[in-house]
């Protein structure tokens, strides 16, 4: 079984937060709590949040159903319809942050970029499996991480204080030998093993080594040896010549990875490296985690999660919808829809880790549908997305809430950026209202790009301040309505400038 590769350049300790409480599984949360989690970052769109919360909770309800009907309960896939920038993709991003279920976001337009064929549609399932394997492996590594750290520390102490060479057979006493006074020089165990009896000098040496080892252990814990150089044997992870044989992303075969196959056949080479203690610890912990985590068990758990709890978010699905019967480039759109149909409908996909059934994977699609409409999708695909929710355009009041209520509001983000320079950035209520008014006005007069317009307005508003922030005369910056009008008046009044800048 080929082992999935870890993110290059990061250690297990670096990949996990220092102190992070385990989040509950998304499906274990009641629908109201799922909506409450989404409310922390997304303003409005209650209909879409409610539909997503019900669909996700139904996964848990299905798992509690009797065996005879469990396989008959199929997920209710969702299409979210609404203009760009109203929160469709943000709902998907926040769902992905809630732990437990494997989640993947793909763009339907990616499947039409290369000629008429584009990427292999089944690649989304293979990518979801990779996400699930990384998720399960990280969970298992978290469980055994203290043990891996302890093992790595012992190996590190062995490197810092190499063990003394064992007594050679020539120097070992013969079973019949006796010391002065007739005392035996060997000890016979209950199993019949004969070992040399340690002398008083040997006991003293061992005690001295033990004290030295404990002293080194204490220095390691206090961080006094972090910059000391040690030599470690590192197994060569990849072969550059084989990387060139990899097919392009999305065009790989269903179940054969020749690079991994050849790497398994080639002998494992170890390379001795001289590194600092902190780097050696990372390498040794990584090796111990691989020994402690059973990759076959990880794969089995990951495949089960994909089949019963997986969620795939298909963005920009309107880009593959068009009036049926057209000729020309549009044939690729209908072709992609027909390729998507068996995946959404329920089929068996072959991956490098085994077969995956897609019958119970939840699919959430989203699109602006400016030019096309959901009814332009082929009827079979429409039938596989029975729940349709429309997201409403954002108003000026919504912009005010977006800038103040969410935990990741733009005003809070820019305040954090200014705090890095020792400055304090504060937006007054009338200043927030003025920014929202200008953003809503520009959306009405130009293309409506939703909340993304706030980014362009805020960037233009704070550009000079951020540029001169290190040498800014005052470290207390207050943005009120007068400041907003002053800085944006010329652009907001000039239609040409507004078109190109905002």
Please return the burial class of 185, using the count of CB atoms within 10 Å of its CB with bins 0-12, 13-18 and 19+: middle
pLDDT-derived band at 185 (thresholds 50, 70, 90) equals low
Query: Other C-beta atoms within 10 Å of 43: how many?
Result: 21
- Closest by CA position to 305, among listed 144, 139, 135: 135
- Mean pLDDT confidence for 449-459: 87
- Mean pLDDT confidence for 100-129: 76
CA distance 119 to 112: 7
138-147, 432-441, 461-470, 486-495: lowest mean pLDDT where? 486-495
Longest dimension (CA), the chain: 110
> 49: which 2 tokens?
């949040």
Is 133:352 a contact under the CB 8 Å cutoff?
Answer: no
Is 309:292 a contact under the CB 8 Å cutoff?
Answer: no
Hey, which of 110-114, 321-325, 348-352 has the most confident mean pLDDT?
A: 348-352
43-52, 140-149, 202-211, 419-428: lowest mean pLDDT where? 202-211
pLDDT at 130: 92
End-to-end CA distance of the chain: 53
User: pTM of this prediction?
Assistant: 0.74
Is residue 303 predicted with pLDDT exceeding 90?
Answer: yes
pLDDT at 218: 83
DSSP assigned state of 170: T
DSSP assigned state of 119: S
Can you list the positions of beta strands (E) in 220-280?
Answer: 229-235, 270-276
Q: Which tens digit of pLDDT belongs to each residue from 49-84?
A: 999 889 888 888 888 889 888 888 888 899 999 888
412-446 residues labelled b (16+ CB within 10 A) or e (exposed)? eebbeebeeeebebebeeebbbbbbbbbbbbbeee
pLDDT-derived band at 192 (thresholds 50, 70, 90) equals low
Q: Which tens digit of pLDDT belongs to each residue from 10-42?
A: 444 444 444 444 555 666 788 898 898 888 888
How large a percentage of the chain has pLDDT more than 90? 11
> 300: which 2 tokens?
């089995």
DSSP H stretches of helix in 224-330: 240-243, 258-265, 277-292, 295-309
Q: What is the mean pLDDT of the chain?
A: 78
Q: Which tens digit of pLDDT belongs to each residue from 225-243?
A: 777 877 787 776 554 554 4
Is 123:252 a contact under the CB 8 Å cutoff?
Answer: yes
Is 371:316 a contact under the CB 8 Å cutoff?
Answer: no
pLDDT at 400: 92
pLDDT at 28: 77
């Amino acid at each position: 079984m080929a082992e999935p590769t870890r993110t290059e350049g990061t250690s297990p300790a670096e990949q996990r937060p220092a102190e992070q409480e385990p989040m509950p599984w998304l499906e274990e949360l009641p629908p109201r709590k799922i909506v409450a989690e989404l409310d922390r970052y997304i303003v409005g769109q209650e209909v879409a949040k409610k539909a997503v919360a019900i669909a996700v909770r139904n996964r848990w309800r299905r798992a509690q159903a009797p065996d005879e009907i469990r396989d008959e309960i199929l997920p209710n896939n969702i299409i979210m319809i609404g203009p760009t920038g109203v929160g469709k993709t943000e709902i998907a991003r926040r769902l992905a942050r809630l732990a437990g279920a494997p989640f993947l976001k793909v763009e339907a337009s990616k499947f039409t970029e290369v000629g008429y064929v584009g990427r292999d549609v089944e690649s989304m399932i293979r990518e979801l499996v990779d996400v699930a394997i990384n998720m399960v492996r990280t969970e298992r590594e978290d469980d055994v991480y203290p043990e891996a750290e302890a093992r790595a520390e012992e190996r590190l102490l062995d490197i810092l204080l190499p063990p003394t060479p064992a007594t050679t057979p020539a120097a070992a006493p013969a079973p019949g030998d006796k010391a002065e006074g007739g005392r035996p020089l060997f000890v016979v165990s209950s199993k019949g093993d004969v070992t040399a009896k340690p002398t008083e000098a040997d006991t003293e040496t061992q005690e001295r080594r033990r004290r030295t080892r404990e002293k080194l252990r204490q220095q390691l814990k206090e961080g006094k040896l972090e910059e000391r150089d040690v030599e470690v044997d590192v197994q060569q992870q990849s072969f550059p010549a084989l990387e060139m044989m990899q097919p392009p992303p999305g065009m790989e075969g269903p179940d054969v990875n020749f690079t991994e196959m050849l790497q398994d056949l080639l002998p494992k080479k170890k390379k001795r490296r001289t590194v600092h203690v902190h780097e050696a610890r990372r390498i040794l912990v990584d090796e111990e985690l691989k020994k402690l985590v059973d990759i076959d068990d990880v794969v089995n758990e990951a495949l089960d999660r994909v089949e019963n709890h997986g969620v795939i978010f298909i963005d920009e699905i309107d880009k593959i919808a068009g009036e049926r019967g057209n000729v020309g480039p549009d044939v690729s759109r209908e072709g992609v829809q027909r390729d998507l149909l068996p995946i959404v409908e329920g089929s068996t996909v072959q991956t490098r880790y085994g077969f995956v059934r897609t019958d119970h994977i939840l699919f959430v699609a989203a699109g602006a549908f400016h030019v096309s409409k959901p009814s332009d999708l082929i009827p079979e695909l429409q039938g596989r997305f029975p729940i349709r929710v429309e997201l409403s355009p954002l108003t000026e009041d919504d912009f005010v809430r977006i800038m103040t209520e969410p935990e990741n509001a733009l005003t809070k983000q820019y305040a954090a950026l200014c705090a890095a320079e020792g400055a304090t950035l504060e937006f007054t209520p009338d200043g927030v209202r003025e920014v929202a008014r200008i953003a809503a006005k520009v959306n009405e007069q130009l293309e409506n790009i939703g909340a993304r317009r706030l980014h362009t307005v805020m960037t233009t508003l704070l550009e000079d301040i951020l540029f001169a922030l290190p040498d800014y005369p005052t470290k207390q910056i207050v943005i009120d309505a007068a400041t907003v009008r002053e800085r944006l008046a010329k652009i907001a009044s000039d239609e040409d400038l507004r078109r190109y800048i905002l």
